[in-house]
Structure 1
């Protein structure tokens, strides 16, 4: 094996090693999820060198420099105030979810009159992107021209590698599609209720599905084999997600709880309770150290993933919270609500930092871009709003 170059990843912090083995270019990542402003970089690099033979003594200074850059980035204060930049009308479309991959965001649209239509547009965002609007590409390979499911598609998820898209349907199946050619790759069958949640793990070799049959299933992406069935919720699943290192899974349910599972064994680790109504969305921060839950009771909660204790309550919305996410730095939480507002919160204190107002109907979805300086919100008012 011969090291070719290093690639730096800011969120979550890590270094990607690009190397050549047998004439083939491969990559492996060194995750630095615990890196902070007080980390002893010299000692950390020595530990990395002991565990990774690709990093020789001649590369030590280069690795130190890269980690110092990461440390500086993580130490930058996040006090950005967001202002409405643009409103994009979407005609007959209703936004039901957003997702982004690396420096792209994907706007997922659900077509009212055409039941089996899912389209997405990609807008490229990078550290240099300062003037909007930017180039927008419409990819119509997976649209009504492809019969995706036997019934309405309910949810959608992309893998981190940007090679596969998964769709979940009311027909109780999920399908994995090749993004390049739009062809079906794998079909996941076995649920007895509609599939409403999908999430790939970081490496892209596993995916979880959450269903109205009260069950979360863990699948092998390559074969479509069901690896684990997570049984414990007493009502419909609303959301499910892996943490970054793929060791844990969280699931939210209409039974008012969030459950934590061991992703390798399928065993339940903890039950996170406290909400007075259905849990509608759950997420990890990008290091997997904190969990956020959003509920129909109009509140959100933040839990420590290690202690399983609630560390903050986010209260102030006037309606149920449909979506919740951390910014890439983990220093802010964004919520979308049926009260027509989105809100920014401090996850440590639960204090509301900013209210994003302007939508005229319920907000169903929201997300940050990769660097955390742009927010997109999507509403039942048939618009998406870009905040920066």
Structure 2
């Protein structure tokens, strides 16, 4: 077993220790997220707490874990002045890309494309590791089964989803049953299920091991455009073009709540880390915050002058970021619901926004052919990432927050270190 620290950076809100161990002749990984780690945390108490809940941390490993925690605490006090430099451009596909996604460690990433393939890349060298071929139409939705990173799911306009081995590129299963294009998908945190959302108005749950359909989630009156599992995997939330959001009980496949109140199509849905809140973005120019248990709307986040195209929580669940067709992004408090800063500078709509794992930076992708890095506290633009020749529609940080990938309609993706 090797203990690896992941997630170093400035005043970090979350860390992760990756455990590598052998089981059944295969090397497997398991992650322990240290959500409450601060410079004031007592390392001995934290090691004891981890040891109680994680049998892999034996007494002989305790000192190693303590040293890691001390290093992470030391890192927390350091300021982040990291600037991202253009590293390499990958002419990834012969037709436009649809999405990019990292594995949890950030050592590999995947790209989906209109050329009907998904490609697996090595982040450090920029070399292509595998081409996942077999879909008969656009590969639109893609995901690693993080934190494990040994499987990839792809969803296509050919109405099927496929499950692949990330190590070999072999196709394990083809999930058939949707009657229209698949436009979103996600693994549950345990990596035992894949959820797919389709233009046929349904979402489906599939068994990773057997490839069988577990449940069809019916009730939406229009396309299911986004979905998200909560962090324990007990609930799934779906957002639809019918202006509603649904919360589903994963074990039974039963709809628990319908969240009504938006007057436009739902662009994105997300749970916060502790599963207590759901945020929704809509074409009605607003975001709404909902209690996951009751389904009650607790706030409407307003201020954008055009459609909200993307929305996300930071990892602590304290902040919400919104991206809009009005060319601005905003940061809201999840507790007071106030707008804390407005990010201005893009010359076109912002289609994607994400926090770095530390919660100190935001990354935006725009139709103005640039991505921008922002300081969350001040709203100041720290960097403009230029070089793409067409709109950027996808962007992501790796887990440590020191590598960025941008995907563009110019058929390339760029790596920034």
Interval of TM-score (by shorter of Structure 1 and Structure 2): 0.7 to 0.9
User: What CA deviation, in whole Å up to 9, does each residue of 1:327-346 have, x standing for no partner?
Assistant: 11111100000111100000
Mean Cα deviation higher: 196-205 or 238-247: 196-205
Cross-structure match for 1:95: 97
What's the secondary structure of 1:171's corresponding residue?
coil
Mean Cα deviation higher: 316-325 or 177-186: 177-186
d(CA) in 1 for partners of 2:93 and 2:41?
Answer: 54
Equivalence map 1:210-359=2 (5 Å)? 210-359=239-388
- Judged with a 3 Å threshold, the aligned counterparts in structure 2 of structure 1 residues 176 and 250 are, in CA distance, closer, same or farther, namely same
Cross-structure match for 1:107: 110
Taking structure 2 as the reference length, the TM-score comes to 0.76
User: What CA deviation, in whole Å up to 9, does each residue of 1:277-304 have, x standing for no partner?
Assistant: 1111001111112110001110001112
User: What CA deviation, in whole Å up to 9, does each residue of 1:91-132 have, x standing for no partner?
Assistant: 4433233333422554342426xxxx5x5334466xxxxx41
Aligned match of 1:137 in 130, 136, 139?
A: 130
Mean Cα deviation higher: 260-269 or 182-191: 182-191
User: What CA deviation, in whole Å up to 9, does each residue of 1:56-84 have, x standing for no partner?
Assistant: 99998676544323323433432222222
Aligned Cα root-mean-square deviation (Å): 3.4
Mean Cα deviation higher: 264-273 or 98-107: 98-107
What's the secondary structure of 2:73's corresponding residue?
helix
Mean Cα deviation higher: 95-104 or 168-177: 95-104
d(CA) in 1 for partners of 2:356 and 2:67?
Answer: 25
- Judged with a 3 Å threshold, the aligned counterparts in structure 2 of structure 1 residues 186 and 5 are, in CA distance, closer, same or farther, namely farther
Equivalence map 1:373-388=2 (5 Å)? 373-388=402-417
What's the secondary structure of 2:200's corresponding residue?
coil
- Judged with a 3 Å threshold, the aligned counterparts in structure 2 of structure 1 residues 93 and 76 are, in CA distance, closer, same or farther, namely farther
User: What CA deviation, in whole Å up to 9, does each residue of 1:197-235 have, x standing for no partner?
Assistant: 111222223221100111111122333221222112111
What's the secondary structure of 2:72's corresponding residue?
helix
- Judged with a 3 Å threshold, the aligned counterparts in structure 2 of structure 1 residues 233 and 189 are, in CA distance, closer, same or farther, namely same
Cross-structure match for 2:166: none
Q: Is contact 1:158–1:166 with CA below 8 Å preserved after alignment? A: yes
What's the secondary structure of 1:93's corresponding residue?
coil
User: What CA deviation, in whole Å up to 9, does each residue of 1:344-363 have, x standing for no partner?
Assistant: 00010000011111111111
Mean Cα deviation higher: 162-171 or 365-374: 162-171
Cross-structure match for 1:81: 83
Q: Is contact 1:45–1:63 with CA below 8 Å preserved after alignment? A: no
d(CA) in 2 for partners of 1:178 and 1:122?
Answer: 23
Q: Is contact 1:208–1:240 with CA below 8 Å preserved after alignment? A: yes
- Judged with a 3 Å threshold, the aligned counterparts in structure 2 of structure 1 residues 218 and 386 are, in CA distance, closer, same or farther, namely same
Cross-structure match for 2:35: 33
Cross-structure match for 2:217: 188
Q: Is contact 1:103–1:124 with CA below 8 Å preserved after alignment? A: no
What's the secondary structure of 2:96's corresponding residue?
strand
d(CA) in 1 for partners of 2:6 and 2:215?
Answer: 30
Taking structure 1 as the reference length, the TM-score comes to 0.82
Which ranges in structure 2 are unaligned for 5 or more consecutive residues?
8-12, 21-28, 135-153, 161-173
Shift of 1:34: 3.9
Q: Is contact 2:321–2:353 with CA below 8 Å preserved after alignment? A: yes
Equivalence map 1:201-212=2 (5 Å)? 201-212=230-241
Cross-structure match for 2:25: none
Which ranges in structure 1 are unaligned for 5 or more consecutive residues?
19-26, 126-130
Shift of 1:318: 0.2
Shift of 1:368: 0.9
Shift of 1:259: 0.9
Cross-structure match for 1:72: 74
Mean Cα deviation higher: 350-359 or 103-112: 103-112
Q: Is contact 2:348–2:368 with CA below 8 Å preserved after alignment? A: yes
User: What CA deviation, in whole Å up to 9, does each residue of 1:166-198 have, x standing for no partner?
Assistant: 322111112234456654343222110111111
- Judged with a 3 Å threshold, the aligned counterparts in structure 2 of structure 1 residues 134 and 380 are, in CA distance, closer, same or farther, namely closer
What's the secondary structure of 1:138's corresponding residue?
strand
- Judged with a 3 Å threshold, the aligned counterparts in structure 2 of structure 1 residues 344 and 231 are, in CA distance, closer, same or farther, namely same
Q: Is contact 1:186–1:224 with CA below 8 Å preserved after alignment? A: yes
